[in-house]
Structure 1
Amino acid sequence: MVISPRLRICAAVVASVLATGFAGAGTLSIDARAPTPAPLNAALRLGSAVAPNGDTLGTNARYLTRNGAPWLPVMGEFHYSRTPASQWEAELRKMKAAGIDIVASYVMWNHHEETEGKFDWSGNRDLRRFVQLATKAGLDVVVRVGPWAHAEVRYGGIPDWVVNAMPTRSNDPQYMRLIERLYGQIGQQLKGQLWKDGGHVIGIQLENEYNIDGPGKGVAHIAALKKLALKAGMDVPYYTVTGWDGTIYPSGEVTPVFGGYPDEPWGISTKELPPKETYAFRFDTRVSGDLGAQTAAHAPGTAETDKDVTPFLGAEYGAGLPFMYRRRTVVSADDIASMLPVQLGSGVNLMGYYMFHGGRNPLSLGGSGMEESTLSGGYNDTTMISYDFQAPLGPDGQQRKVLEKLRPYHLFLHAFGSRLAPMTVRKPDASPATPDDLKTARFAVRSEGDRGFLFVNNHVRQYPMAAQQATQFNIHLQGQSITLPSKPVDIADGAYFIWPLNLDLDGTNLHYATAQPVTLLDQGKAGVVAVFAASAGVPVEFALGDGAQVSAPGAKLSQLVTVGGSTGTYTLVSGVQPGTGAAISVQRSGKRPLTIVVLTAEQAQQLSVVQLAGQSRLLLSADQAYVDGNALQLRSVGDSKFRFAVYPALSGAPKATSTGAEWSTASAGSTRNRTGGASSTRPSNDGAFAAGDSAAATVALRAAGNDGIFQTFEATLPSRELQATITQTRNAQEASPVVIGGTAKAAIQPLPENFKAAAAWQINVPREQLKGLDDALLQIDFVGDIGRLYSGTRLLDDWYYSGYQWQFGLRQQAALLDQPLTVSVLPLRADAQIYLPKEARPNFGGDKQIAQVRGVRVIPVYQLRVTP
């Protein structure tokens, strides 16, 4: 790498007087001088936490530990039984590449024992194989064993034959005998896969959203479930329960986990909701409002009284939202990503998402739905098949914009989470009193001693925030104070970011930066590369510890002297232009070189850290990327051109092949063996497409020179224009009025008989044109109430109209393309009392209803395999 000669430090001295209590116009202050107390030893009875190789897991009252060091992992939910088993390995690797450390999954009882005594752990229900593949992908696992899961599944996952015969969610003897048998089955699936065995199962969640109290319930029930889990061999380091909505549990036996969502699809309002508290920093409580528990609490829960003796862990921060019939909330990538500075700045020490990967519900043995619905007494009406959840990874593995927005934060936690975890939350001198205060600045600091991070959020979903004009932050730390930036800046509506305070970069003190730290790449003797991301609309500047020789081509170097608390002199680097080059180079006597790269926000969203050709590398690509063994897999939806950039450069010329599905060999269903029962065939979302069913062709991979410090490559696959024909076969009839009722006393999904009013279209997609592609996404653009996709009379997928794009992957159902598919659309009535985003509300033009298919596309999905 060629570094430009060091610029001469300007003689000008910028003085920043930081007297205690001083706050000029536009100055936002936090006093973080109070000593950080040592974390209390959590009074938690963990399971076996030592692996055979000596690795340990633990916790204290503030954070998790791994081998004795602070650990702040990222957890994402992925339901194995809602995804074809043939996709698991690739999807788990995609999650790993997205920065997920732990995969969590519900065990949905009625997916495994729909008929009493006949357990099914095969095919898409093979929990053991799922855990093994997660381990292979480098992920730890938390298994949420229920027995009540919710998960928008019928009866919360408890089989019909149980619900019909006995009390549930209590210590009823008949019920508990069945739970003992269920847990025994799960224990057999996990045998040898637990942390104590050298496996990756590190946690068990008991029950879900449990706030029921009374004889044989409450504390007694959770305690009894834990005893049954241990009896079944599920001896793991961590036992958790969900901590919201007044949850009740035996203190010390389990750890509460928390969550928050940017809207309430389970709500009953047909209008936009007031600003959600999910976007406001939390200084006094961990429970973020209503999270949709289906039972009512009558007093504050155990999680509230335990908050000083348990760490603040997350499990269900919404990485998306489901569509409920009555309320169809669409969220943007910024609606989701802006929650991260808020939750981390509020003290969260495990960032857990629900859902991170979408899926599709299996059908019952009889072909009916297993979804939550008012017909089965549920509080919500969800789609029969689709469990898309607007997740970062769609049901067919497609990468969505929200994943790109989240990944820089995951990289930040991997690189700096061990420093953040011990830090405590510091409240500003002034903060919003209520979530609907859209004027007062929203920010917080987490610090320990004289080091910390500043968290800022100026985004609230569906509401404009006041721009914070001419703003500086005045942070009083132990022994010194920091004012940043050196000159006031405007923080625009929609901005959110994390800035460092006295961050140690391999022995060089970064006093502050107005850019977000993303990752560190340790290259041994060659030095360290620190990657930052520019904050939109804010000039980039770095204040670096004095004594270092700083080079910053194109930027301005000056001297920054701080006075107040303690005097310090720093090299101020201002005017940094974000990009892929070495923005700042630091040479230190007796130390390794330090290189600082400041990417644009858009470039940072394309950044991954991958293990490739025997070492960690930075990877930049707009394509979906993950590593499989020693190969880099790149996936592109709709564009046959691939481009990626790596640093450090690869030593040899990599080779590339394209991989595509053998579309002629896929089958429409599968036959599985059932533990404890005869073989049977079940209509489901099971794909019989095997991982090895692919064809490869050599592709010319072109070296495209350098982009800053990155070595770039390009490849182009043959472009495919896929054709689909659509013909209307049935006109819509007048739809019945939407009924108000159910336990929510709100709009309920139409009865099955009402679908006689649906219009229908026939879709033809010639299968032969799809050969050589990794997948093809059928994209259906419709306006109506409910859309359903069929092959003959077999329901493949369904969708509530919301304005969010409906896509269906054809690879898993390739054999069905030999006959036309059918999409039916139930008309949406103009008087339907449901919530639709204002952007999606159709123009009825004076008509009573609407049912249209505006178009159908088949989007090719290309895959490129690069081997160094």
Structure 2
Amino acid sequence: MPFRIRVSSPTPVTGTPLEMGDADGIGRRVQLTSRYLTRDGAPWIPVMGEYHFSRDLPENWEVELRKMKSGGISVVAAYMIWILHEETRGEMRWDGPRDIRRFIQLAQDVGLEVMLRIGPWAHGEARNGGFPDWLQALPIRHRSNDPAYLDLTRRWYAGIEEQVRGLFHTAENPSGPIIGIQVDNELYDDGPHLAALRDIAEEVGMSASLWTATGWGGAELPHGRVLPVYAGYSDGFWEESDTGWPAFGVMHFTYSTVRDDLTVGADLREAPAVVHGGAALGADDPWPFATCELGGGMAIAYHRRPLVDPDDVTALALTKMGSGSAWQGYYMYHGGLHPIGARSTTQEAQATGYPNDMPSRDYDFSAPLGAAGTERPHFHALRRQHLMLDAFAAQIAPAAATIPEPVDGAPRWAVRSTGTSGFLFANNHQPAIAALEAIDGIRFGVQFDDRELTVPTRPVRIASGAHFVWPLRQRYGAIPALTVTAQPITQRTTEEGTVVIFAAVDGIEVELQLEGVRASDVSGAEVDIDDGVVIARPHAAPGLACEVHVGDTTLVFLDAAQGDAVWRGDIGGRDSVVIWQGSGWFDTTFRAVVDDRSREIAVFPPLEEAAPAELPREGTVFTRYEVPAASASRELDAADFPCAPVAPVRRGGSSNRLSAPRDADFADAAVVELAVHPDPHEGERSILELDWTGDVIRVLLGDRLIADQFWYGRALEIDLTPYAAELETTPLTLQAFAWSPVSPVYVDPRVRPDVREPELAIHSARVRSLRTVALA
């Protein structure tokens, strides 16, 4: 018997009581309904990614923003971290990596819109939460309506406004890229202060279609003045070192209308979270469910070092989507480095009264895009979801979530529906420490307003870790209603017809249920009729040749790996779909990052000029080409550490947690040198990948700390490009402490060393060269 739910037409959308949104008549207007956002009146699902411009180098911004855009991001979010701009009181700086105006203009050039998170307090694992030391030390009531604090905030906001003037999206400037502003962060108990912050921002000249504040932790928010935005993480560095998988994790892998997680940032609160006014859970809020911090990975603290897997990120994101999310926002989407200021390092630390010691430099976050620009597996898998949200927002955004009651042995699933059609979301993934088992014999029964649908018609096995979305009775080109056991990615319409790209689910047969078409209209599949519905199963296995044709509509079913390799963007002014199982990005073309072996790339429509060697066709849609190999990496000679010293064990901070080694401790660290000797012909960017085991490592060039890491099972990546000239004559110095066999630090059990003696080793040191081939 199938697992069943009944869906019905959702309640009509209404306006919201929020004081925001563009007036009618404004170009590219952004507005809110009670359930979703609109852009120029059409349903719109923003996909937002956090990238801290001040934690990267300006010379990297444009390419990294292009990668974000190519990953399906439509809005870039960025904290303004006050200490980085005014470390010394009265000396407000906007030069170099602080140049917010240049960053926003580049985002606009790339085609991204901007959400400014203006603080004053930002957190973001920054020193004092982003407050300069001089501000932190003042005898005022911080983060309150103390007039002295508000005066300083006004000066900070005015400084930001002066830099970004003319870049706000307004009636007079409809092309302005800044569409949203977030005030403060994680403020739980002072709604009037948040309202005052918005007032001050507007008084100094800031304008935004959307005003937001973080709603998690049962936050008290000013009625009507801000849109609550929420978080969801698969793990948290803020938990204790003896915590396994945190208890909050389950809610983020389970479909639910509950929006709030009371535990995010809870280690910085003096008392447990309290829900204010009963509305913070969000199920009945008359505004869209919006997120700003879906965990793109996780930061690493000294005492606790989570190992977040790519599927943890993609399953969590898909679960929020199926639960009704109208705005997918990731923190972090792009990792970075904590800058070292003139007076201090700028990371969160116990020395400044915080509970956690963070690395002095490392803020990679295991994000989809790493601090060195590396495109991680979840960058590609998330892109598959983002392309779907872009192509089918008009169908997904208005659809309301229906979530069945939990049943023993049932999968976790939900349907977003308009009453007669919808999308089925299923998630059978949790982090490895609490992995879900495979489930056999699964069919889903969905009762719509006019008929019941069972999908698939034959029971299937849902593997452990599987997570997917299937369309239910959706219109695609000439097909009035299609239900299929494959995930839609994107579609493109040409003069010849419509092409729709899907990704199959590993281990589940592709089955189509077509309503409103004749069996004779279908080719490329075995066809049956069941109660007037055409049931079709493709002749070919998922891949480029797996095509089903219905009239002038072509459905292409890729396998799961190819589904994660779909890109969409302009090549020479042509809207193009690319299948490339590697890194890359779009600018005026597609730039494929090449490596040590030749690879195949498939493009629709075909390339027009300067094409690489064409390969035989598979199917009628994509043209295949061979991209030649290029030398992309070299191994370095890495000496063994001469000894394996263990760092002193200390506790400190506001929660008495384990403390990182202090600067003076590194006089006793093990030390080796690593000569790099850059090759001037190596490529456009050179990344050092250091695979090592231990506790803490620092990498110095001369006397400058350029990188560090608390070991947690992943390689340390360092962008060597800015240091190329120095590295010709100066080796890197590595200072490290060993992993202790009795360490009380939390490291994921899958990688935690099982040793009897302290362990400190460099397993490999490799320089990876970034080279690209441009398609045309």
With the length of structure 2 as denominator, give the TM-score of the two structures: 0.95
- Residue 578 in structure 1 maps to residue 552 in structure 2: no
Q: Spell out, residue by residue over 1:522-545, the C-alpha distance to the aligned partner (whole angstroms, 9 max, x if none).
A: 11x211101111011111011112
Per the alignment, do residues 604 and 322 of structure 1 end up closer, same or farther by CA in structure 2, a change over 3 Å counting?
same
Deviation at 1:452, TM superposition (A): 0.7
| SS of residue in 2 equivalent to 1:829 | coil
Per the alignment, do residues 574 and 584 of structure 1 end up closer, same or farther by CA in structure 2, a change over 3 Å counting?
closer
Partner of 1:36: 10
Letter aligned with residue 452 of structure 1: G
- The correspondence for 2:44, drawn from 71, 78, 81, is 71
| CA distance in 1: counterparts of 2:358 and 2:319, whole angstroms | 29
Letter aligned with residue 461 of structure 2: D
Partner of 1:609: 568
- Residue 127 in structure 1 maps to residue 100 in structure 2: yes
Partner of 2:162: 188
On the 8 A contact 1:467/1:491 being kept in 2, the answer is yes
- The correspondence for 2:297, drawn from 320, 328, 332, is 320
Partner of 1:853: 762
- Residue 824 in structure 1 maps to residue 727 in structure 2: no
Deviation at 1:714, TM superposition (A): 2.3
Q: Percent identity?
A: 34
| SS of residue in 1 equivalent to 2:634 | coil
| CA distance in 1: counterparts of 2:646 and 2:501, whole angstroms | 59
Partner of 1:703: 614
Deviation at 1:285, TM superposition (A): 1.7
- The correspondence for 2:498, drawn from 505, 511, 528, is 528
Partner of 1:668: none
| CA distance in 2: counterparts of 1:459 and 1:420, whole angstroms | 22
On the 8 A contact 1:72/1:349 being kept in 2, the answer is yes
| CA distance in 1: counterparts of 2:258 and 2:698, whole angstroms | 43
Partner of 1:669: none
- The correspondence for 1:635, drawn from 579, 593, 605, is 593
| CA distance in 2: counterparts of 1:129 and 1:642, whole angstroms | 36
On the 8 A contact 1:277/1:288 being kept in 2, the answer is no
Letter aligned with residue 601 of structure 2: F
| SS of residue in 1 equivalent to 2:389 | helix
On the 8 A contact 2:538/2:546 being kept in 1, the answer is no
On the 8 A contact 1:582/1:595 being kept in 2, the answer is no
On the 8 A contact 1:555/1:577 being kept in 2, the answer is no
Per the alignment, do residues 501 and 559 of structure 1 end up closer, same or farther by CA in structure 2, a change over 3 Å counting?
same
Deviation at 1:733, TM superposition (A): 3.9
Deviation at 1:753, TM superposition (A): 2.1
Deviation at 1:548, TM superposition (A): 4.3
Partner of 1:763: 674
Matched residue count: 764
| CA distance in 2: counterparts of 1:184 and 1:800, whole angstroms | 38
Larger radius of gyration: 1
| CA distance in 1: counterparts of 2:256 and 2:467, whole angstroms | 18
| CA distance in 2: counterparts of 1:102 and 1:31, whole angstroms | 35
On the 8 A contact 1:640/1:862 being kept in 2, the answer is no
| CA distance in 2: counterparts of 1:451 and 1:315, whole angstroms | 28
On the 8 A contact 1:320/1:331 being kept in 2, the answer is yes
| CA distance in 1: counterparts of 2:330 and 2:419, whole angstroms | 30
Per the alignment, do residues 46 and 169 of structure 1 end up closer, same or farther by CA in structure 2, a change over 3 Å counting?
same
On the 8 A contact 2:355/2:652 being kept in 1, the answer is no
Partner of 2:606: 649
| CA distance in 2: counterparts of 1:290 and 1:486, whole angstroms | 41
| Root mean square deviation of aligned Cα | 2.0
| SS of residue in 2 equivalent to 1:409 | helix
Partner of 1:174: 148
| CA distance in 1: counterparts of 2:456 and 2:229, whole angstroms | 36
- The correspondence for 1:460, drawn from 424, 427, 430, is 430
Q: Spell out, residue by residue over 1:25-55, the C-alpha distance to the aligned partner (whole angstroms, 9 max, x if none).
A: xx2111113x311112101111655686x22
- The correspondence for 1:451, drawn from 415, 421, 428, is 421
On the 8 A contact 1:514/1:538 being kept in 2, the answer is yes
On the 8 A contact 1:763/1:820 being kept in 2, the answer is yes
| CA distance in 2: counterparts of 1:101 and 1:472, whole angstroms | 35
Partner of 2:63: 90
On the 8 A contact 2:538/2:548 being kept in 1, the answer is no
| SS of residue in 1 equivalent to 2:12 | coil
- The correspondence for 2:470, drawn from 493, 499, 523, is 499
- Residue 353 in structure 1 maps to residue 330 in structure 2: yes
| CA distance in 1: counterparts of 2:692 and 2:11, whole angstroms | 57
Q: Spell out, residue by residue over 1:803-827, the C-alpha distance to the aligned partner (whole angstroms, 9 max, x if none).
A: 1111111112212202011111112
| CA distance in 1: counterparts of 2:318 and 2:512, whole angstroms | 20
Partner of 1:863: 772
Per the alignment, do residues 720 and 469 of structure 1 end up closer, same or farther by CA in structure 2, a change over 3 Å counting?
closer
Q: Spell out, residue by residue over 1:505-556, the C-alpha distance to the aligned partner (whole angstroms, 9 max, x if none).
A: 1242234111111111111x21110111101111101111233465666631
| CA distance in 2: counterparts of 1:613 and 1:278, whole angstroms | 45
| CA distance in 2: counterparts of 1:404 and 1:728, whole angstroms | 36
Q: Spell out, residue by residue over 1:363-419, the C-alpha distance to the aligned partner (whole angstroms, 9 max, x if none).
A: 0113x3110011111122111101100011111211111111111111110111221
What does 1:261-300 align with in structure 2 at a 5 Å threshold? 261-273=233-245, 276-293=249-266, 294-295=268-269, 296=271, 298-300=273-275
Q: Which runs of 5+ in 2 are unaligned?
A: none
| CA distance in 1: counterparts of 2:252 and 2:19, whole angstroms | 33
Deviation at 1:574, TM superposition (A): 5.4
| CA distance in 2: counterparts of 1:288 and 1:534, whole angstroms | 33
On the 8 A contact 1:623/1:643 being kept in 2, the answer is no
Q: Spell out, residue by residue over 1:62-98, the C-alpha distance to the aligned partner (whole angstroms, 9 max, x if none).
A: 1111111111121110000001000100000100000
| CA distance in 2: counterparts of 1:189 and 1:51, whole angstroms | 28
Q: Spell out, residue by residue over 1:716-775, the C-alpha distance to the aligned partner (whole angstroms, 9 max, x if none).
A: 354256352334576444532x223322232122222222221011010112x2424112
Letter aligned with residue 778 of structure 1: L
| CA distance in 1: counterparts of 2:600 and 2:201, whole angstroms | 49
Partner of 2:372: 396
On the 8 A contact 2:481/2:516 being kept in 1, the answer is no
Deviation at 1:645, TM superposition (A): 1.5
Partner of 1:260: 232
Per the alignment, do residues 733 and 800 of structure 1 end up closer, same or farther by CA in structure 2, a change over 3 Å counting?
closer
- Residue 752 in structure 1 maps to residue 663 in structure 2: yes
On the 8 A contact 1:825/1:852 being kept in 2, the answer is no
What does 1:240-251 align with in structure 2 at a 5 Å threshold? 240-251=212-223
| CA distance in 2: counterparts of 1:334 and 1:816, whole angstroms | 39
Partner of 1:374: 350
Partner of 2:182: 205
| CA distance in 2: counterparts of 1:488 and 1:733, whole angstroms | 57
Q: Spell out, residue by residue over 1:588-631, the C-alpha distance to the aligned partner (whole angstroms, 9 max, x if none).
A: xxxxx100000000001111011123221110112212221x22
| CA distance in 2: counterparts of 1:575 and 1:326, whole angstroms | 54
| SS of residue in 2 equivalent to 1:839 | coil
Deviation at 1:279, TM superposition (A): 4.0
What does 1:10-159 align with in structure 2 at a 5 Å threshold? 24=1, 27-33=2-8, 35-46=9-20, 48=22, 54-159=27-132
What does 1:471-482 align with in structure 2 at a 5 Å threshold? 471-482=442-453
Per the alignment, do residues 470 and 204 of structure 1 end up closer, same or farther by CA in structure 2, a change over 3 Å counting?
same
On the 8 A contact 2:633/2:766 being kept in 1, the answer is no
Letter aligned with residue 649 of structure 1: P
Letter aligned with residue 188 of structure 1: E
| CA distance in 2: counterparts of 1:241 and 1:401, whole angstroms | 30
| SS of residue in 2 equivalent to 1:91 | helix
What does 1:610-625 align with in structure 2 at a 5 Å threshold? 610-625=569-584
| CA distance in 1: counterparts of 2:698 and 2:365, whole angstroms | 17
Partner of 1:719: 631
- Residue 489 in structure 1 maps to residue 455 in structure 2: no
On the 8 A contact 1:550/1:584 being kept in 2, the answer is no
- Residue 414 in structure 1 maps to residue 383 in structure 2: no
Partner of 2:210: 238
Deviation at 1:640, TM superposition (A): 5.6
Per the alignment, do residues 789 and 570 of structure 1 end up closer, same or farther by CA in structure 2, a change over 3 Å counting?
same
Q: Which runs of 5+ in 1 are unaligned?
A: 1-23, 213-217, 562-567, 588-592, 656-700
On the 8 A contact 2:241/2:744 being kept in 1, the answer is no
| SS of residue in 2 equivalent to 1:181 | helix
| CA distance in 2: counterparts of 1:63 and 1:721, whole angstroms | 46
